[in-house]
Amino acid sequence: MGSAVEQNVRAITVADRLRAQGISRRGFLKFCASTASLMALSPAMVPAIARALENARRPSVIWLSFQECTGCTESLTRSHSPSVESLILEQVSLDYHHTLQAASGEAAELARETAMQENQGKYLLVVDGSIPVKDGGVYSTIAGITNVDMLNEVAAGAAAIIAVGSCAAFGGIGHARPNPTGAMPVSEIVTDKPIVNVSGCPPIPTVITGVLAHFLTFNKLPDLDDLGRPLAFFGQSIHDRCYRRPFYDKGLFAESFDDEGARKGWCLYRLGCKGPATYNACATTKWNQGTSFPIEAGHPCLGCSEPDFWDMGSFYRALSIPTEDTTRTLVYGVGTGAVLGAAAAAVARSRKSKAKAAHYKVSVNDLEEST
Ligand code: SF4
Ligand code: SF4
């Protein structure tokens, strides 16, 4: 990994590698256009992307998996070949990844240490999973090193960090009450490095590779929202782009999963859809190579890309107005699509004005009914 051959491989530009893969100049420009689309950039940026990729070197990536379920890696590996996502992944040097690397034991740890030494200050650190800090961090260790110690060690030499998935970004299920391991997100432990949060449970693979593509092309992280997420993918709510929105605006809601409204594809708001308070690209990028997304399959959005979504009440209870002092629900308080639309706009404004979590909750009425 540290040999002269490896160094030369890393010195080869992205354009060189694509040419070596048999991709013509025309194919390269097409790749640049697809990359622009992947990063949600204007087609006018294609010449600039082509120039940047002509000179871009292959960055070293160290991927640390902590307290997680491997869903984030499973999501990433669903970037089927020969998609732009898979081509982007081939342009980075994935020097350490527990699940994907062939090496194990001491050889694996040596790979991590070598990558760190050879690329001090330049490598990209990707983290999935939360970091347990209770009782000295003993609840999760790798090679005898606690997750928190390994994170601090590797983060120190990183150029930037991508926190992949809601666990690394916001703590996720490990952080949910009662949080027995003291699970924390990356940003609460590392405070002196640029961090981008690619939240979601799991995150959309296109978004992961979109951020990688941005770093590869411009050698910096993309613009972020107030929760550290890439604006290009998290700038609009699921509800903003949902194809069921016309039904919402007309006040046409499914009341159960098998009623006439459900069969007609009406809005899933009353079945607990958190789309109005959830920012992610599912409604546009979709999943499985753009095939579909949960709402298209008939299931409400669970809000998986928002902080503390596990703790925010039942997945199947209707969303409440997101204020600190919630005492009523949109469902029980109002009846027409127009009024709901205004309330959803208030949801969005409130969400954007907060520095941290979206404080949506189930209504007091709902809680009383359930106890
Ligand atoms: S509430 Fe959910 S299903 Fe209804 S329009 Fe919004 S995102 Fe779509
Ligand atoms: S639709 Fe909602 S719950 Fe489903 S993956 Fe997208 S953000 Fe997560």
Q: End of a domain among 234, 269, 304?
A: 234
Are 74 and 162 in the same domain?
A: yes
139 and 218 belong to one structural domain: yes
Q: Mind listing the pLDDT tens digit for each residue in 255-288?
A: 999 999 999 999 999 999 999 999 999 999 898 8
The enclosing domain of 114 has a CATH number of 3.40.50.700
DSSP 112-150: HHHHHHHTTTTEEEEEESBEE-GGGGTTSEETTEEHHHH
Asked if residue 59 lies in contact with residue 124, where contact means CB atoms within 8 angstroms, the answer is yes
Cα–Cα distance measured from residue 363 to residue 329, given in angstroms and rounded to the nearest whole number? 6
- 203: which 2 tokens? 């995150």
Whether 212 and 327 map to the same domain: the answer is: no
Pair (136, 189) in one structural domain: yes
- CA-200 nearest atom, ligand 2: 8
Position 47 in a domain: no
Q: Comparing 251-255, 265-269, 343-347, which segment has the lowest mean pLDDT?
A: 343-347
Tell me whether strands 183-184 and 131-132 are parallel, antiparallel or unpaired. Answer: antiparallel
Domain limits for position 66 = 58-234
Q: Of all protein residues, whose CA lies closest to atom 4 belonging to ligand 2?
A: 301
CATH number at residue 302: 4.10.480.10
Give yes or no: residues 300 and 229 share one domain.
no
* CB-ligand 1 contact for 351 (6 Å cutoff): no
Q: How confident is the model at residue 140, as a pLDDT?
A: 97
Q: Does residue 192 share a domain with residue 323? A: no
Is residue 307 left, alpha or beta, with left meaning phi > 0 and alpha meaning psi from -120 to 50? beta
pLDDT at residue 250 above 70? Answer: yes
One domain for residues 112 and 215: yes
Contact indicator for 35, 89 with CB cutoff of 8 Å: no
- Could you tell me if residue 31 is inside a domain? no
To test the ligand 2 pocket, which listed residue (280, 285, 316) has its Cβ within 8 A of the most ligand atoms?
280
15-57 pLDDT, tens digit each: 787 788 777 888 888 878 877 887 778 888 888 888 888 888 8
- Is residue 213 located within the same domain as residue 334? no
Half-sphere exposure of 299 (CA within 13 A, CB side): 9
Q: What percent of the chain has pLDDT over 70?
A: 80
Is residue 242 within 6 Å of ligand 1 at its C-beta? yes
Whether residue 194 contacts residue 16, with contact meaning beta carbons closer than 8 Å, is answered with no
50-80 pLDDT tens trace? 888 888 888 899 999 999 999 888 887 776 5
